[in-house]
């Protein structure tokens, strides 16, 4: 029996979300499974995504690629963080495809005779050759042509014109290359939702696959993927005027039944949800009371009939209608991006994978 806390990961939902992204974009996927698939497990997620016939997988480090290769993942794997020259041999051994942006690294990679994608900076100012400086890599690209080229939008979720501006810069940059690369890609999750059909020939879904959309008015919505559950380990009555947890930030206004669940910010549940977050027990939405502590959270379960051992849903689908426990809602409490919440759910929480369509 799962006795403390566990994270349910719906692999079938990930596959459905990937399929929805592909249908929306009309082109093959390069699913982003970096950071251990946003904390959900890169190997099981990659295996679940095989049915979508992805063009490649996207990661951030050579070590991540080596893990996937050791697990038998054979498709192309793109490393989206720039490589040091000292990492190139390991990347080549693991049959990884680096993303390169400067003449020296393009020339250094040439000795391996392996493909790479050209990284073009159109405004993110994080990685790749700046779009204004395409002439600086022309000779290197002629010596070692890229298999693909891409850019990264900094504000694709905003309707502020910057995505269109960056797209124009990318088009101009591509036109300055000696030859057009075979694979071009710009769109992550937010851009996929906004574009409907990709203007290129691949897209890079990330957070959408893991169950986080682009708002209630977005054209497509993902299925829920992540559910964080725990069990009630203690119950106690507190009297009117009693306080709960560190700093006594909660004071009971009447006699209340308080449950303790063994999850805290050391597990990745945000401390910013103190006195603000909700949970679901026995189909009822209940409040978090007091500070979220390192290893425990207290809940007001008065009038729920809750007992020690009952399951509590802290994140995800809890069964109660309109429960504000989805990833985006929980992340919003401490003003975190959903990415940070997902990747912060710690390894000491057991992962349970569901593979059947719900």
In a domain, 323, yes or no: yes
In a domain, 72, yes or no: yes
Report pLDDT for 357: 47
- Confirm whether 1 is domain-assigned: no
Q: Do 186 and 305 sit in the same domain of this protein?
A: no
Whether 16 and 85 share a structural domain: yes
Q: Are residues 204 and 240 in the same domain?
A: no
Residues 99 and 192 in one domain: yes
Secondary structure of the chain in HEC code, one letter for each residue: CCCCEEEEEEHHHHHHHHHHHHHHHCCCECCECHHHHHHCCHHHHHHHHHHHCCCCEEECCHHHHHHHHHCCCCCCEEECCCCCHHHHHHHHHCCCEEEECCHHHHHHHHCCCCCCEEEEECCCCCCCEEHHHHHHHHHHHHHCCCCEEECCCCCCCCCCCHHHHHHHHHHHHHHCCCCCCCEEECCCHHHHHHHCCCCCCEECCCHHHHCCCCCCCCCCCCCCCEEEEEECCEEEEECCCCEECHHHCEECCCCEEEEEECCCHHHCCCHHHCCCCEEEECCEEEEECCCCCCCCEEEECCCCCCCCCCEEEEECCCCCCCCCCCHHHHHHCCCCCHHHHHHHCCCCCEEEEECCCC
Q: Can you give the pLDDT at residue 356?
A: 62
Active site residue 229: no
Whether residue 169 is contained in a domain is answered as yes
Tokens for 207, please give them.
């957070």
| Residue 102 covered by a domain | yes
Note whether residue 142 is domain-resident.
yes
**Domain-ending residue, one of 185, 210, 235:** 210
Same domain membership, residue 330 and residue 256: yes
**203 with 232, same domain?**
no
Q: What's the number of domains the chain is made of? A: 2
Q: Provide the CATH number for the domain around residue 313.
A: 2.40.37.10
User: Domain end: 154, 182, 210, which one?
Assistant: 210
- Domain co-membership, 31 together with 105: yes
Catalytic residue among 34, 38, 57, 229: 34
- pLDDT at residue 117, rounded to an integer: 98
Does some domain include residue 347?
Answer: yes
* pLDDT value, residue 358: 43
Range of the domain at 312: 226-354
Q: Do 125 and 19 reside in the same domain of the chain? A: yes
Known catalytic residue at 116:
no
| Co-location of 15 and 121 in the same domain | yes
pTM of the predicted model, to two decimals?
A: 0.95
Closest to 46 (Cα-Cα) out of 81, 21, 70: 70
151, 246: one domain? no
Residues 152 and 242 in one domain: no
Domain boundary among 155, 179, 210: 210
- Tens-digit pLDDT profile for the chain (358 aa)? 567 999 999 999 999 999 999 999 999 999 999 999 999 999 999 999 999 999 999 999 999 999 999 999 999 999 999 999 999 999 999 999 999 999 999 999 999 999 999 999 999 999 999 999 999 999 999 999 999 999 999 999 998 999 999 999 999 999 999 999 999 999 999 999 988 899 999 999 999 999 998 887 788 999 999 999 999 999 999 999 999 999 999 999 999 999 999 999 999 999 999 999 999 999 999 999 999 999 999 999 999 999 999 999 999 988 877 789 999 999 999 999 999 999 999 878 999 998 864 4
Clarify whether residues 303 and 163 are in a common domain.
Answer: no
Can you give the pLDDT at residue 105?
97
Residues 38, 112, 229, 246: which is the catalytic one? 246
The enclosing domain of 168 has a CATH number of 3.20.20.10
Query: Is residue 218 situated within a structural domain?
Result: no
């Amino acid at each position: 029996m799962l006795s403390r806390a566990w994270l349910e990961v719906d692999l079938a939902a990930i596959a459905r979300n990937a399929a929805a992204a592909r249908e929306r974009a009309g082109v093959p996927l390069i699913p982003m499974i970096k950071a251990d698939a946003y904390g959900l497990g890169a190997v099981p997620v990659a295996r679940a995504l095989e049915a979508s016939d992805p063009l490649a997988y996207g990661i951030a480090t050579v070590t991540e690629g080596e893990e996937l290769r050791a697990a038998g993942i054979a498709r192309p794997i793109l490393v989206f963080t720039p490589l040091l020259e000292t990492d190139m041999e390991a990347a080549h051994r693991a049959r990884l495809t680096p993303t390169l942006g400067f003449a020296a690294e393009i020339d250094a990679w040439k000795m391996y005779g392996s493909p790479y994608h050209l990284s073009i900076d159109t405004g993110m100012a994080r990685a790749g050759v700046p779009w204004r400086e395409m002439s600086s890599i022309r000779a290197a690209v002629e010596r070692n042509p890229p298999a693909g080229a891409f850019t990264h939008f900094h504000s694709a979720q905003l309707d502020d014109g910057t995505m269109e501006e960056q797209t124009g810069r990318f088009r101009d940059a591509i036109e300055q290359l000696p030859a057009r690369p075979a694979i071009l890609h710009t769109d992550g999750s937010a851009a996929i939702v906004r574009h409907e059909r990709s203007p290129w020939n691949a897209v890079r879904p990330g957070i959408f696959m893991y169950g986080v959309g682009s708002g209630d008015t977005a054209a497509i919505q993902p299925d829920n993927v992540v559910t964080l559950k725990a069990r009630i380990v203690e119950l106690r009555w507190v009297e009117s005027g009693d306080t709960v947890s560190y700093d006594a930030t909660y004071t009971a206004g009447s006699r209340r039944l308080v449950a303790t669940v063994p999850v805290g910010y050391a597990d990745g549940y945000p401390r910013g949800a103190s006195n603000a977050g909700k949970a679901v027990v026995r189909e009822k939405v209940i409040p978090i009371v007091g500070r979220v502590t390192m290893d425990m959270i207290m809940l007001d379960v008065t009038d729920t009939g809750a007992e020690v051992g009952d399951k509590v849903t802290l994140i995800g689908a809890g069964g109660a209608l309109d429960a504000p426990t989805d990833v985006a809602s929980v992340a919003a409490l401490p003003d975190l991006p959903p990415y940070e919440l997902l990747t912060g759910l710690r390894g000491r929480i057991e992962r349970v994978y569901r593979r059947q369509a719900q």
